Amino acid sequence: MEPIKGIDFMIEFNLGSKTDPDYIKIGGQQGATLNRSKELIETTSKDSSGWREQMSGVKEWGIEADGLLIVNDRGYCALENSFINDTKLMIQMMTPSGLKYKGEVIVTDFPIEAGFEDMSTYGITFEGCGALEVVMDEDGDGFEPDEEEEAEMPEYIN
């Protein structure tokens, strides 16, 4: 399996409905970062033999992106409206292979930079609302690695 170039990741969001989606791209998009994290819950006790113990807690996700400012772009205009009117968006970050990360978001940060000798750019932060869905193809099947390329788990020394 070949590595995926960053330029091949596109952000799209749905201007249609869940049953009749109309995904559009954000004009001028350059960079994108998918952030995923989880909180830990402390479970250390006197029985932990001096070692900290923890378990997984709440997860969160979001996408940060930037691009060239194209104010008459349909996607950019929809982002402006979402930010101003506090509306949620259905977003997906995808590659040409069909790998998609998708979910509902709120636009929380939307700066515009207008440098003296630079092109005008925008930045945008989408914070996830609920679960992040990972799908591999148009059928909506869950993402699973190829069985033949799946690496064996290493043995740990006890």
CATH number at 6-38+56-135: 2.30.110.20
Does position 139 have pLDDT exceeding 60, yes or no?
A: no
Q: Does residue 79 have a pLDDT over 70?
A: yes
Mean pLDDT of the 139-144 span: 53
Task: For residue 137, name the pLDDT band (cuts at 50, 70, 90).
Answer: low
Model confidence at 7, pLDDT cuts 50, 70, 90, reads confident
Is the model more confident about 45 or about 156?
45
What backbone phi and psi angles, to 5 degrees, belong to 41? -105, 125
According to DSSP, the residues that pair with 122 across neighbouring strands are: 67, 112
